[in-house]
Amino acid sequence: MTGGRLNKEFYVKNRDTASISVSSRGNLRAIQEARAQRLAYMPTVVANENAMIRTETLQSVLGEEATVVTAALESTDDIIEAAGDAVGLVVDVNTPVPTEVFEGCPDLQIVARAGVGVDQIDFEAAVEHDVTVVNVPDYCTEEVSTHAVSLLLAGVRRLTEYNGAIEDGSWNWTDGQPIHRLNTQTIGFLSFGGLAKRTAEKLSGLDCRMVAADPYVEAEDMEPYGVEKVAFDELFEEPIISRFMRRSLMRHTTFSTKRRSNG
């Protein structure tokens, strides 16, 4: 047995045997052999080789419940080869997990998406093969919302234009004209999920009007954030638009080149 679904009693028995062997021999080689024996009976979790996935954190959480290994999962064949006898699979946002993976990894019990959403994971195949699919709903919510506010303020205050003018040797306050006060502007959110909500919270003290278009969120759910629900076409009449769209909404949304978006 080198992974897969683990017989807990078998693992505990061999773990105890390994411990007895170490205490009786009491040397480094025995310790190394015992550790190797224990690892041989531990289930495996395969994580995509990606800087966004911190395998040391995964291993610290799982402890002795499983061994975390990394692999370059650039194709479906790569995943099947690396996780053929694994019980867990951790992938980044750019790695698809199609039906073939579930068929080729019979011991798989869980697929974890290291990010928001599970768009590229074949959900029907996961259900058919009794595999649990999880994600990280609040992944980078703070970072992305803060970045969105930063870009918004930079745009309103024309920082890019001023920076370019300074690099060209100009120092004239009219270089960035026109500049409008933020408290006279309307901020529009295209979709109103977790990211948009957190962004709205951060904008709430800047005295700007906020509106949002999202067929999946009711007006009363937007109201606590100081946001007014509007129709999709009405949204694009607003001067500043921030886009936080889920893929399911993007598939049903058509953008006109005449429409203006800063998101």
Q: Quick one: pLDDT at residue 252?
A: 45
Q: Residue 104's pLDDT is what?
A: 96
Per-residue model confidence as pLDDT tens digits over 141-165: 999 999 999 999 999 999 999 999 9
pLDDT grade for 24, boundaries at 50, 70 and 90: very low
Fold match, 8-134 / 141-250: yes
Under the banding of pLDDT at 50, 70 and 90, the label for residue 116 is confident
- Tell me which residue of 224, 143, 230 sits closest to 189, measured CA to CA: 230
pLDDT at 210: 95
The residue behind tokens 């100081």 is: 226
* pLDDT value, residue 1: 37
Measure the CA–CA gap between 71 and 156, rounded to whole angstroms: 44
* Angle between helix 141-156 and helix 194-203 axes, rounded to 10 deg: 50
The lowest-confidence range among 66-80, 83-97, 125-139, 172-186 is: 172-186
Burial of 9 (0-12, 13-18, 19+ CB in 10 A): exposed
The overall longest dimension of the chain from CA atoms, in Å, is 83
Q: Determine what percent of the chain is predicted with pLDDT higher than 90.
A: 54
Q: Give the list of residues 6+ apart from residue 63 with CB closer than 8 angstroms, or none.
A: none
Q: Give the integer Cα–Cα distance in Å for 37 and 102.
A: 28
If one counts every other C-beta atom within 10 angstroms of the C-beta of residue 257, the result is 5
CATH of domain 141-250: 3.40.50.720
- The closest alpha carbon to 237, from 178, 181, 179, 187, belongs to 187
Q: Which CATH number fits domain 8-134: 3.30.479.30, 1.20.1440.120, 3.40.50.720, 1.50.10.20?
A: 3.40.50.720
Per-residue pLDDT, 65: 87
Contact 71, 78 (CB under 8 A): yes
Domain ranges, ordered by start, for the chain: 8-134, 141-250
- Tens-place pLDDT, residues 200-231: 999 999 999 999 999 999 999 999 999 999 99
* Position 30 confidence tier, pLDDT thresholds 50, 70, 90: low
How far, in Å, CA of 241 to CA of 243, rounded? 6
25 has pLDDT over 80: no
Predicted pLDDT at 257? 37
Q: What is the pLDDT of residue 211?
A: 95
**pLDDT digits 0-9 by tens, 39-92:** 556 899 999 998 889 889 989 988 888 999 999 999 999 999 999 999 999 999
**Residue-wise over 28-44: b if at least 16 C-beta within 10 A, else e?**
eeeeeebeeebeebbbb
* Burial per residue of 188-216, b for 16 or more beta-carbon CB atoms within 10 angstroms, e otherwise: bbbbbbbbbbbbbeebeeeebebbbbbee
pTM for the whole structure: 0.70
pLDDT of residue 189: 93
For residue 262, what pLDDT is reported?
Answer: 39
